[in-house]
Structure 1
Amino acid sequence: MIDGTPKLKVLLIDDQPDSLNAMSSRLESEGYAPIATSDAQSAWQHLDDGVAVVVTELDVAKTKGVEVVRFAKQHAPHAIVIVVSAEPDIGLAVAAVREGAFDYLTKPVDPSDLVHRIEMALSRRRMAAEIASLHLQLNEKHGLQNMVGNSPAMRSLYEKIRLVADTRSTVLVTGESGTGKELVARSIHHLSKRKNESCIPINCAAIPETLVESELFGHEKGAFTGATDRKQGFFEAATKGTLFIDEIGELELGLQAKLLRAIENRTIMRVGSTKETSVDVRLVAATNRDLAEHVKNGHFREDLFYRLKVVELKLPPLRQRKEDIALLVQHFIAEISADAERPVRDIDTEALEMMKNYSWPGNVRELRNTLEGMIVLSMKPVIEASDLPTHISNHNESQAIIKPGMTMSEIEKEAIRRTLQHTGGNRTKSAEILGISLRTLQRKVKEFGL
């Protein structure tokens, strides 16, 4: 708890006096305001007293199983609920989490662990509020519901999207694989006057080279073997809307010339036809290649390059906006857990720091896929460091604490920071590990601004 802030109320419900007293005493020493009761029925009257957290045994007098959680969430939806059970029961734990419980503990409850879980829950709630607020702001100001990030680089990108969206200018979106180029294209479409029409994506790398022209411009019946009917291409299908051409650097030179003509004249010619067809399409292209270098090497037409690059939007790789990782992780945890019907609700401090320290060569796509792999295999409410793939945990282990040129003060600060990170912010445990008094640790934390 931070000095000077109002004490958060924690409602404790347990029919065992020793357990109740131990939890209450520890919470009070940590700066919380515990309300201890042994009877669920009498405890409910405190739910309207501004209780921030409810810690309840699942089997208390006259109230059974997840009914405790259901009642608490119905009458105090703002409160975080942590359930305690005398026996480990995975089925009961999953049911409790589905009813809205944040965490599940088994007896005997370690008071230090309880404090740690409460702090994690409060941190998650603050993060969830920040994500919700960010999404609301982006939606109201920019219309960017599916993009997550609050870093300066992303805020600059949002503003550029807003400015270019309602023009007819061709846009080239550049960035490494997995950075979210299609999300940018869809946001441009959503903010434009064309938003009620189709936004059609085509990935040049995913279509056989012999079929790309037919896919883009369509073909007439009998134009080639297998062309049994006239087919409309993506340009015609996207008329009055937006056509998003991904991996445009994969187009062969002959098709580049035809694409340039379609952009400049706003007409296309189906394969096998001699008649031009007018199209009204907003074009957004994307690439993870250095097109300027391809122009120099003769692999990409210079005239098409400059025609596409009327406006260029560059997406930063995830390693250059690590301050967004916590937001992205919480966003994906909520999304994936809901889709997979898993109880995962949060990530602990150590695991999150390890994810922040990883370089993410596959960017946001790799981050999401990594989280999905962990979540679908988990029946726990919190992702821990031990759940991370070895390539991420090994990467973190290889990061040395002491580096050449560091001062003793810097080394001390880093040792304290990593120990607090390891204990999830538990200062008592950190002081024990570091071999110093709690008072000394608190002074150092204040001194180093940790």
Structure 2
Amino acid sequence: MHPGRILIADDNKSVLTSLELLLEGEFERVETISDPNKIITVLDKHSIDLVILDMNFSVGVNTGNEGLFWLQRIHETVPELPVIMLTAYGDIDLAVKSLKNGAADFVLKPWDNEQLINKIHTTLQESRLKSPTKSVRSAHGPAMIIGRSPAMMKLIKTVTKVAKTDANILVYGENGTGKEMLAREIHRLSLRSPHEMYQIDMGAISESLFESELFGHEKGAFTDAHEKRVGKFEAANGSTLFLDEIGNLSLGLQAKLLVALQNREIMRLGSNKKIPINIRLIAATNRNLQEMVRQSQFREDLFYRINTIQIEIPPLRHRKEDIALFANHFLKKYADLYKRPGLTLHPQALQKLESHPWPGNIRELQYAIEKAVILTEKSVIRASELSLHVGRTHSFDKVTNLEEVERQAILAAISQNEGNLTATAEQLGVSRQTLYNKIKRFNL
């Protein structure tokens, strides 16, 4: 048996079985998957030396674009990992295109067994000569789970194009859609990924602490400045700075932020020394900044400064195909956390999740799965054990504590105001700062 750990990705189960039988006696390990969305997870968990990748995964599609997309994702995760493309369509142009995109080789279905094995041996040998001590894990860390729906696949393609540039990016999306997660994926794929990404929740920061938090301060700069502090701009030098909920900044703070971005330098409070900064900025908001510009609530010059590339994350209710992916991810996460091995979702429970409107988006789904994992006493979570918020018609009869009532009231208000937190705070009769604190407290 020859050394080599092979991953085969093909939606045809008979192809997977045939290749596994052919290769398992030839190489030390063979992994097979029919869902390409699991490729990155396998690469993160297992040491793989070569991937055999199908060019087409959707029925009736033979363009090869899916295979080229996943080829790119593989090389973003493990840059030197060799990939042999597999297709039933003998299109020489497609073969050339895959090779130009970094594939090590190309094999047509039906394949010749001996020829395929020889190609694998040759490719593995060439790979070892190039990188004799290479690690198959990406130096940039594991890929984020974003989704498999058509909308998210299109979004991921945009992300992979812009990530390696230094262009400022503005991410739109309702609360809980995964704006921070997307920002981290952009950073992971960027040339700045060896450094830690820094983030600030602009909605939760008070005006009095804004400059200290972003720009830092010297000892004695103000009453409570007992020691020098480095601000987020300075800490993120050479890396990525993520400013969440940027639409909640006052006009005065917007002006201070704009000056730092324009001059690419900051000064700590209590100091006259200018400090150059080199950051890649990603901002996020759930508000319509263009409308705010028209209403003179957001500076137009700052808007264009942060909006070189605009990415919008659709709400979970508009990408039902992603619900099962996230549900199973959170199920595994909390089953491991709460020591519930083997816990699964009943098909009817999954149907219930997929039919829910999810006003709180991915965060709400995460909470629902965690709660079910904690409360279920059997090995299968059934539909009746999923406690889901259903808007204005929801009954609180079975709620046993005030915190849960408050949490559900906040979720309902956010949904009714389509994610606008200022309007939500007004409806609930609390300040915006109080609402942010409660959102963080309840992990909404």
Indicate conservation of the 8 Å contact 1:220/1:272, yes or no: yes
Matches within 5 A, 1:245-324: 245-324=243-322
Indicate conservation of the 8 Å contact 2:146/2:182, yes or no: no
Indicate conservation of the 8 Å contact 1:243/1:282, yes or no: yes
Partner of 2:228: 230
Cα distance in 2 for residues equivalent to 1:126 and 1:366: 29
Cα offset, 1:203, TM superposition: 0.6
Indicate conservation of the 8 Å contact 1:295/1:301, yes or no: yes
Partner of 2:355: 357
Going from structure 1 to structure 2, the CA distance change for 1:379 and 1:310 (only over 3 Å counts) comes to: same
Paired letter, 2:380: V
- Is 1:140 the counterpart of 2:71? The answer is no
Cα distance in 2 for residues equivalent to 1:272 and 1:248: 26
Paired letter, 1:379: E
Q: What's the TM-score once normalised by structure 2's chain length? A: 0.58
Going from structure 1 to structure 2, the CA distance change for 1:347 and 1:130 (only over 3 Å counts) comes to: farther
Cα offset, 1:344, TM superposition: 5.3
Indicate conservation of the 8 Å contact 1:135/1:148, yes or no: no
Cα distance in 2 for residues equivalent to 1:280 and 1:134: 31
Task: State the Cα RMSD in Å.
Answer: 2.8
Cα distance in 2 for residues equivalent to 1:162 and 1:323: 21
Indicate conservation of the 8 Å contact 2:40/2:74, yes or no: no
Cα offset, 1:190, TM superposition: 1.0
Cα distance in 2 for residues equivalent to 1:380 and 1:150: 30
Going from structure 1 to structure 2, the CA distance change for 1:393 and 1:316 (only over 3 Å counts) comes to: closer
Paired letter, 1:140: I
Paired residue secondary structure (1:154): helix
Cα offset, 1:166, TM superposition: 1.1
Cα distance in 2 for residues equivalent to 1:264 and 1:225: 30
Q: What's the TM-score once normalised by structure 1's chain length? A: 0.57
Cα offset, 1:168, TM superposition: 1.1
Per-residue displacement from partner, 1:245-293 (whole Å, max 9, x unpaired)?
1111122212211211221221012122222210111111111111112
Paired residue secondary structure (1:284): strand
Cα offset, 1:197, TM superposition: 1.0
Paired residue secondary structure (2:230): coil
Cα distance in 2 for residues equivalent to 1:224 and 1:380: 57
Paired letter, 1:132: K
Paired residue secondary structure (2:176): coil
Indicate conservation of the 8 Å contact 1:216/1:235, yes or no: yes
Paired letter, 2:325: L
Matches within 5 A, 1:26-37: none
Per-residue displacement from partner, 1:65-100 (whole Å, max 9, x unpaired)?
xxxxxxxxxxxxx9xxxxxxxxxxxxxxxxxxxxxx
Paired letter, 2:74: E
Per-residue displacement from partner, 1:363-413 (whole Å, max 9, x unpaired)?
0111011100110122322110110115459989xxxxxxxxxxxxxxxxx
Q: Which segment is superposed worse, 141-150 or 216-225?
A: 141-150
Indicate conservation of the 8 Å contact 1:142/1:158, yes or no: no
Indicate conservation of the 8 Å contact 2:368/2:388, yes or no: no
Cα distance in 2 for residues equivalent to 1:158 and 1:263: 27
Per-residue displacement from partner, 1:99-126 (whole Å, max 9, x unpaired)?
xxxxxxxxxxxxxxxxxxxxxxxxxx99
Partner of 2:5: none
Paired letter, 2:217: H
Cα offset, 1:297, TM superposition: 1.9
Going from structure 1 to structure 2, the CA distance change for 1:340 and 1:392 (only over 3 Å counts) comes to: farther
Per-residue displacement from partner, 1:144-193 (whole Å, max 9, x unpaired)?
72223111111111111111111111111110000111111111111111
Indicate conservation of the 8 Å contact 1:385/1:393, yes or no: no
Q: Which segment is superposed worse, 235-244 or 334-343?
A: 334-343
Cα offset, 1:131, TM superposition: 5.0
Paired letter, 1:354: K
Cα offset, 1:207, TM superposition: 2.1
Cα distance in 2 for residues equivalent to 1:394 and 1:140: 45
Give the paired residue count.
276
Cα distance in 2 for residues equivalent to 1:378 and 1:142: 39
Paired letter, 1:338: D
Cα distance in 2 for residues equivalent to 1:234 and 1:376: 37
Going from structure 1 to structure 2, the CA distance change for 1:126 and 1:330 (only over 3 Å counts) comes to: farther
Cα offset, 1:194, TM superposition: 0.9
Indicate conservation of the 8 Å contact 1:344/1:375, yes or no: no
Which of these residues, 158, 161, 177, is aligned with residue 159 of structure 2?
Answer: 161
Indicate conservation of the 8 Å contact 1:256/1:301, yes or no: yes
Paired residue secondary structure (1:283): strand
Paired letter, 1:156: K
Paired letter, 1:325: I
Indicate conservation of the 8 Å contact 2:192/2:239, yes or no: yes
Partner of 1:202: 200
Percent identity, aligned pairs only?
45
Going from structure 1 to structure 2, the CA distance change for 1:393 and 1:134 (only over 3 Å counts) comes to: farther
Which of these residues, 217, 221, 246, is aligned with residue 215 of structure 2?
Answer: 217
- Is 1:370 the counterpart of 2:368? The answer is yes
- Is 1:243 the counterpart of 2:241? The answer is yes
Partner of 1:336: 334
Paired residue secondary structure (2:182): helix
Gaps of at least 5 residues in structure 1 are: 7-48, 50-77, 79-124, 397-450
Paired letter, 2:289: L
Indicate conservation of the 8 Å contact 1:180/1:364, yes or no: yes
Going from structure 1 to structure 2, the CA distance change for 1:140 and 1:152 (only over 3 Å counts) comes to: same
